[in-house]
Structure 1
Amino acid sequence: MSIALIYARSRNYCIGVDGDLPWRLPAEFAFFKQTTLGSAVIMGRKSYEDHNSELPDRLNIVVTRQPDYTPVPGVRVADSLVAALALARDQGKPVFVIGGVGLFREAMPLADTVFETIVEADIEGDTFVDAFDFSGWGSERVLQHDVDAKHRYAFTAYRHSRPTSHSSKSR
């Protein structure tokens, strides 16, 4: 099973402020939507609660340790990343881990691909993603967008692909 991470971060690795994204970038959101459509999206409870709704046309799985947690109809719940991955595998869906930071850390050793958007700004925030080491990975720019009337910040999206020698036996 292929596992991907997808996130947008500032130059200083900020991904959130007060439980929300620190920017509104419609073209980046469209890229996220296009990339994840038809897939399983795995997110932590706090990431889910940022929008409190099902992301359409995707298998939504929320990871939480709260045994009585009840999301909106259509959203599945798992008590661990391993359980969430099993749910996605049972549905035969490609998998994207979409946040939060703890799930990114846990999923990174398993990931084959990382979609990383770098927003060209230093943002003061309260949530930061790790500076993952992509040396040795294949990286390609998949989207670049300049500042315009709808985009306060320029950004570039990259697809980082782990070398094929990465063993899937560890999964």
Structure 2
Amino acid sequence: MITLIAAAAENNALGKDNNLLWHLPDDFKRFKQITTGHHIIMGRKTFESFPKPLPNRTHVIITRQENYDVPEGCLVVNSLEKAIAVCPKEEEEIFIIGGGEIYTQSMKIADKIELTRVFTAPEADTFFPEINLEEWKLTFEEFHTKDEKHAFDFSFLTYVRL
């Protein structure tokens, strides 16, 4: 199963200047819980936005750069198709974690979307693709109000392909 996992604003904003637009500890906890122990596929810029590789996950980085240097345990490929192909066939779920271009490429082949909808509409340069509700069904929704640790209201949403 291929799952897209993202946090996107109401205008589908994901980030600006290779940075996230918000700090939501509960979203980070959910991301860690869902992706730990799995292969995570990302573009080079997404990988470079991390201070170091995320623990207990196999990073698959898509880049057109020849001889792109990554830490031990990370895999480098030059296409989404190759990224999926290097993930073990027995792995139940692989995760696409960004960025915008990789999400757009993978939207047509994904089986599930784990989306944190952040209730704001900031300026951004990277966006999540539009979810076509004729192709996707919302199967889970959990609303969270802003508090001292979370500057925005947000909802955890799960979509499955129809």
Give the TM-score category using the shorter length. over 0.9
Looking at secondary structure, tell me which structure has more helix per residue.
1
AA at the equivalent of 1:162: R
Once the two structures are superposed, what CA deviation does each residue of 1:28-49 show, in whole Å capped at 9, x if it has no partner? 1111111111111000000100
Question: What is the one-letter code of the residue matched to 1:47?
Answer: T
Pick which of 127-136 and 66-75 moved more.
Answer: 127-136
Contact 1:39 1:95 in 2 (8 A): yes
Q: TM-score, normalised by structure 2?
A: 0.93
Instruction: Look up the equivalent residue of 1:125 and give its one-letter code.
Output: A
Q: Does 1:86 align with 2:85?
A: yes
What corresponds to 2:34 in structure 1? 35
Indicate the residue corresponding to 1:158 in structure 2.
157
2 CA distance for matches of 1:54 and 1:114? 23
Once the two structures are TM-superposed, the CA of residue 134 in structure 1 deviates from its matched residue by: 2.7
Residue number in structure 2 paired with 1:98 = 97
Describe the SS at the equivalent of 1:99: coil
For 1:67-101, what per-residue CA distance to the aligned partner results, in whole angstroms no more than 9, with x for missing partners?
21011222111111111101113573521000011
Secondary structure at the aligned position of 1:143 is classed as strand
Q: Which residue of 2 aligns with 1:26?
A: 25
Looking at structure 2, the residues matched to 138 and 59 of structure 1 have their Cα atoms a distance apart, in angstroms, of: 29
State the 1:142 CA deviation. Answer: 4.3
> AA paired with 1:103?
I
TM-score by length of 1: 0.89
Hey, what does 2:134 align to over in structure 1? 135
Per-residue CA deviations over 1:38-71 (Å, capped at 9, x if unaligned) read 1110000001001142111111110011121011
Give the drift of 1:143. 3.3
Are 1:56 and 2:55 counterparts?
yes
For residue 122 of structure 1, report the CA deviation from its aligned partner. 1.2
Distance in 2, Cα, partners of 1:91 & 1:102: 27
- Compute the RMSD of aligned alpha carbons: 1.5
Aligned length in residues: 162
In the superposition, relative to structure 1, how do residues 154 and 80 fare at CA in structure 2: closer, same or farther (>3 Å)? same
CA distance in 1, matches of 2:97, 2:147: 26
Residues 1:148 and 2:147 aligned together: yes
Q: Shift of residue 136 of structure 1?
A: 4.3
- Aligned: 1:117 with 2:120: no
In structure 2, relative to structure 1, the CA distance for the partners of 1:91 and 1:55 (3 Å cut) is farther
Structure 2, unmatched stretches of 5+, are none
Q: Do the aligned residues in 2 keep the contact of 1:52 with 1:71 (CA within 8 Å)?
A: no
Q: Judge which range, 30-39 or 92-101, deviates more.
A: 92-101
Measure, in 2, the Cα distance between the counterparts of 1:41 and 1:142: 23
